């Protein structure tokens, strides 16, 4: 049974704090293991990758087999049905169009002193995308990570995807082809992150690594950060639905289960202004849990981390939502746009009862790689901005240096950085001699 809360109850605040602080991450002590794997890859390169792939994926490879060849990709994607291909092509086109609008613009201007200032945006040269294998092998994640990188102008995009027992997911390879991925490697785990970060004889290093993974992958991304950039450390999936009684309880139940079926540690929350409606949704969830294919996973998630919260009004609902800062926020109310103005902490907002979160996972256009575990309070979902960096531009004229240089001299002196100040003084002295 999920937790049922009501803001009118005397113990609500303490119960809500328990809900907020629930530890959902499955975080075994893997850091020492990951540190050893990374060091092994740094020392032995391809040989370490080959040994670890045999150990964890039960797949014997040679160095020239680490990369999946273009012919192998062709053969695999030939197995994809026309219906699935068309769906992936639609998703790719919509994701590409949305992210193209995110591209920032260069700027340059002359200020009142006569100095020319500005900035220029350039893409990272190479990026690596980690794609989980096995049951968590999602072609949609390839599209969501690879397309923004290519839209940003990344010249070289490599992906790593484990293939346990040698099984390749044709849809993942088709998604890679549609996204413009340049290199595909059949490796996974912390060793894949290490290879992307430090490089081996067969795998050139990248500048940034994105993509989801298990606890070992997350620990590896933490360890290589600084050597390369990373997107985020993502936790279990989560959804918050704010709904009034003018909704179909079964629709809301399915929306809640759409995240619960991801992972036993996922969290599905409902906030409603009508307690009876909340109970109806919970009953609908129970009914759906009898037939869902992943019902064991969804049931555990709903039982251990689910909640139905009854509030006085939508203003209070927005206040609670901001404290939760959910990864996904559905607003199934009469005026979702107005309510969304008060919901300032959320990874993605889905407006109205005809916008299920699953649309965002696949074909909506916005990215589905989103901040979890309340990190939407200070971070954003994956975008083109994750694959570009800003370089500032400055050019002083003699007049501009005369206008602002003396202030730089004063500040350098106040910080006891003599050479800083003298580098300005020497130029001003030269100008004054003219």
For the segment 94-135, what is each residue's pLDDT rounded down to a tens digit? 999 999 999 999 999 999 999 999 999 999 999 999 998 765
pLDDT band at 214 (very low <50, low <70, confident <90, very high): confident
Lowest mean pLDDT among 187-201, 208-222, 300-314: 208-222
Asked if residue 143 and residue 49 are part of one domain, the reply reads yes
Q: Is residue 124 part of a domain?
A: yes
Compute the distance between CA of residue 146 and CA of residue 148 in angstroms, rounded to an integer. 6
The token pair at 203 is 């795998």
The token pair at 209 is 């690594």
Asked if residue 173 and residue 39 are part of one domain, the reply reads yes
Asked if residue 99 and residue 248 are part of one domain, the reply reads no
Percent of the chain residues past pLDDT 90, beyond the cut: 92
**Contact of 309 with 5, CB cutoff 8 Å:** yes
Taking the mean position of all CA atoms in its chain, how far away is CA 6? 32
Domain count, the chain: 3
- The range of the structural domain enclosing residue 418 comes to 396-433
Percent of the chain residues past pLDDT 70, beyond the cut: 98
pLDDT tens, residue by residue, 323-347: 999 999 999 999 999 999 999 999 9
Asked if residue 91 and residue 52 are part of one domain, the reply reads yes
Residue that terminates a domain, selected from 311, 341, 364: 364
Asked if residue 143 and residue 17 are part of one domain, the reply reads no
Query: Is residue 300's pLDDT more than 60?
Result: yes
pLDDT tens, residue by residue, 415-430: 999 999 999 999 999 9
Higher-pLDDT residue of 401 and 168 is: 401
CATH number of domain containing 291: 3.40.50.1980
Asked if residue 196 and residue 137 are part of one domain, the reply reads yes
Burial label, 72 (beta-carbon count in 10 A; 0-12, 13-18, 19+): middle
Compute the distance between CA of residue 296 and CA of residue 293 in angstroms, rounded to an integer. 8
pLDDT of the residue at 148: 98
pLDDT of the residue at 28: 65
Residue that terminates a domain, selected from 230, 250, 272: 230
pLDDT of the residue at 1: 82
Query: Is residue 73's pLDDT more than 60?
Result: yes
- Strands of the sheet with 388-395, listed across from one edge: 107-110, 116-123, 388-395
pLDDT of the residue at 125: 98
pLDDT of the residue at 387: 98
Q: Is residue 256 part of a domain?
A: yes
Compute the distance between CA of residue 350 and CA of residue 259 in angstroms, rounded to an integer. 14
Nearest to 145 by CA among 204, 209, 94: 209
Q: Is residue 97 part of a domain?
A: yes
Asked if residue 100 and residue 124 are part of one domain, the reply reads yes
Asked if residue 351 and residue 261 are part of one domain, the reply reads yes
pLDDT of the residue at 133: 78
Nearest to 331 by CA among 312, 358, 354, 297: 354
Asked if residue 152 and residue 57 are part of one domain, the reply reads yes
DSSP 166: G
Asked if residue 68 and residue 180 are part of one domain, the reply reads yes
State the helix-helix crossing angle for 249-260 and 295-305, rounded to 10 degrees.
100
Q: Is residue 190 part of a domain?
A: yes
Residue that terminates a domain, selected from 230, 256, 291: 230
Q: Is residue 371 part of a domain?
A: no
Q: Is residue 315 part of a domain?
A: yes
Asked if residue 419 and residue 288 are part of one domain, the reply reads no
Phi, psi of 379 (to 5 degrees): -140, 170
Q: Is residue 353 part of a domain?
A: yes
pLDDT tens, residue by residue, 250-290: 999 999 999 999 989 999 999 999 999 999 999 999 999 99
Query: Is residue 164's pLDDT more than 60?
Result: yes
How many other C-beta atoms can be found within 10 angstroms of the C-beta atom of residue 21?
A: 8
Q: Is residue 7 part of a domain?
A: yes
pLDDT of the residue at 27: 61
pLDDT of the residue at 427: 97
pLDDT tens, residue by residue, 389-415: 999 999 999 999 999 999 999 999 999
Asked if residue 354 and residue 405 are part of one domain, the reply reads no
- Write out the catalytic residue numbers: 327-328
């Amino acid at each position: 049974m999920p937790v049922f809360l009501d803001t009118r109850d005397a113990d609500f605040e303490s119960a809500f704090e328990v809900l907020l602080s629930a530890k959902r991450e499955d975080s075994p002590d893997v850091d020492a293991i990951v540190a050893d794997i990374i060091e092994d890859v740094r020392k032995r390169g391809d040989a370490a990758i080959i040994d670890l792939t045999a150990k964890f994926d039960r797949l014997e490879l040679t160095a020239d087999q680490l990369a999946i060849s273009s012919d192998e990709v062709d053969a695999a994607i030939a197995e994809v049905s026309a219906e699935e291909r068309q769906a992936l092509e639609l998703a790719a086109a919509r994701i590409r169009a949305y992210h193209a609008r995110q591209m920032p613009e260069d700027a340059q201007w002359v200020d009142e002193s006569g100095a020319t200032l500005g900035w220029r945006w350039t893409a990272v040269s190479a990026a690596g995308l980690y794609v989980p294998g096995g049951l968590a092998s999602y072609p949609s994640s390839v599209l969501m990570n690879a397309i923004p990188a290519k839209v940003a102008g990344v010249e070289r995009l490599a992906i790593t995807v484990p293939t346990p027992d040698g099984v390749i997911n044709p849809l993942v390879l088709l998604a890679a082809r549609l996204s413009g991925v340049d290199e595909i490697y059949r490796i996974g785990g912390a060793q894949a992150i290490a290879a992307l970060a430090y490089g081996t004889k067969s795998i050139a290093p990248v500048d940034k690594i994105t993509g989801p993974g298990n606890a070992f992958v997350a620990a590896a991304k933490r360890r290589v950060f600084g050597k390369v950039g990373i997107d985020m450390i993502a936790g279990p999936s989560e959804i918050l639905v704010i709904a009034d009684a003018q909704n179909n309880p079964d629709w809301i139940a399915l929306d809640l289960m759409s995240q619960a079926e991801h992972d036993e540690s996922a969290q599905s929350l409902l906030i409603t202004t009508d307690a009876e409606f909340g109970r109806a949704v919970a009953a609908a969830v129970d009914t759906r849990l009898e037939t869902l294919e992943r019902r064991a996973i969804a049931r555990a998630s709903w039982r251990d981390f689910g909640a139905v919260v009854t509030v006085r009004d939508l203003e209070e609902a927005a206040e609670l939502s901001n404290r939760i800062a959910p990864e996904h926020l559905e607003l199934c109310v009469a005026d979702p746009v107005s309510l969304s103005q008060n919901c300032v902490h959320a990874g993605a907002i889905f407006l109205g009862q005809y916008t299920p979160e699953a649309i965002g996972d696949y074909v909506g256009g916005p990215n589905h790689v989103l901040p979890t575990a309340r990190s939407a309070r200070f971070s954003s979902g994956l975008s083109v901005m994750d694959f570009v960096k800003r370089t500032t531009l400055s050019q002083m004229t003699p007049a501009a240096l005369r206008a602002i240089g003396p202030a730089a001299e004063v500040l350098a002196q106040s910080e006891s950085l003599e050479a800083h100040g003298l580098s300005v003084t020497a130029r001003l002295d030269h100008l004054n001699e003219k």
